[in-house]
Amino acid sequence: MTDAAFRNFIDGRFDEPSATFDSIDPSTGTAWAKLPAAGEADVDRAVEAAHRALRSGPWRTTAATARGKLLVKLGDLVAANAGHLAELETRDTGKIIRETRAQIAYVGDYYRYYGGLADKHEGAHVPIDKPDLDVTIRREPIGVVAAVVPWNSQLFLSAVKLGPALAAGCTVVLKASEDGPAPLLAFAEFVQEAGFPAGVVNILTGFGQECGRRLTSHPLVSRVAFTGGPSTARAVVRNTAENLAYTTLELGGKSPVVVFADADLDSAANAVVAGIFAATGQSCVAGSRLLVERSVKDEFLGRLKRKAEAIRIGDPQDPATEMGPLATLRQRDWIERVVADSLAAGGRLVTGGTRPAGDGFYYPPTIIDAGSSDLPCMREELFGPVLSVLAFDSEAQALAFANDTPFGLASGVFTSNLGKAHRMARDIHAGVVWVNTYRAVSPLVPFGGYGLSGLGREGGLDAIRDYTRSKSVWIKTSDEPIPDPFVMR
């Protein structure tokens, strides 16, 4: 039984959808809302609206400072309405309410940050070697941006794309995942309230073949910013062969957390639990591979087991709940297959591994003592609350295990030895290395991965430049006429 309905936001208006689908509440496994299924015609309208806004609408002449003020206002609106957006995200994705509230409130800072930078990314004057020419380099918006985000942390993942894109003067068509898009469709209300001109921001949802493929291959799209999995990313890259759009990819991870015997084990245990069981493990930076020095392995596993078994699983809308359901049934099915294969291949189950009784897509905090880096749980990104553990005997072996993955998004190192911390941070192949902490983020810091974890970076000062292109302007300053090139002197 559905009790809510959402619409796409195109050219400054909320459209009545021509097709819809049910959104499933992961905590009950039942439909709770009707969502719009955007087709190719909807995508075309959204991209064309964004192109008009970029080329001939008021956005084209909106000063950078004014763009920044709109972004700051949007950040304030998101923060003020974080409770409402959080309830929607929790209902649609199963992420616990206390996490969605905190994360969405912080999202406002990203819009404020890029609002402050909007009039501070500058061009240049080139001291060229030709005395009668003056050369400047302008930074201009790259064009219409196709931003594609997954369901998890979607308001955050949208902010790191929308913020710099709008600060740079681009226009955007944002595609929310068909899994749990309700909060992003509701977020469109605040884009409208903030006062962005029609067509500057368009938000829709739909399925990959019709909606996603058309958007990322559209001839009027100049930039694609994608967050998701490697298999979908390959399809996106193939799509951009049609429009040659500049593309950045923030993909998955199989992030190692390395705990040395000299670490503060209580602090490390808390970080490991937060790194893998927060958001029910459905995070691209989930610390899913624990590498622990053999001399403290048994003690450390004991701590983790006690902490994992004490986690309160339940209704994600209850502030007392510490872990909610997985977002989709297919994700739970995938995790169960990989866990079963890993145990059959020799892994030892420390705790968890059996779904609880009752409705919803719940799966318990699970720890597997892998014993080998070849087990499926050590190789595959599960995107769920499963921690795979491997012991190491030396710093060199820890580093080898940490880098034994085609992914390279995030990593953690726990040690009290400063030299060891610096060596590991230098040599781990990952875009983020947290030392004696985990899952810290800030709008001031770039974020991205190596290998199958993606291309490009999001966040930080340089992000705006990725939404611009340079234009070289040559001005002749001499009053002397250009000589006839065919007259020999």
Q: Give the residue numbers marked as catalytic.
A: 250
Whole-number Å distance between alpha carbons of 278 and 314: 14
Of residues 159, 154, 203, the one with CA closest to residue 42:
203
C-alpha to C-alpha distances, 469 to 91, 147, 326, 334, nearest whole angstrom: 40, 18, 40, 42
Sign of CA dihedral 265, 267, 272, 278: positive
251 touches 452 (CB < 8 A) = yes
Angstrom distance (rounded) from CA 253 to CA 124? 38
What CA–CA distance (Å, rounded) separates 102 from 96?
A: 10
Exposure b/e, 149-186, CB count within 10 A at least 16 = b: bbbbbbbbbbbbbbbbbbbbbbbbbbbbbbbbbbbbbb
How far is it, in rounded angstroms, from Cα 112 to Cα 134? Answer: 36
Of 72, 88, 296, nearest in space to 187 by CA: 88
**291 close to 395: Cβ distance less than 8 angstroms:** no
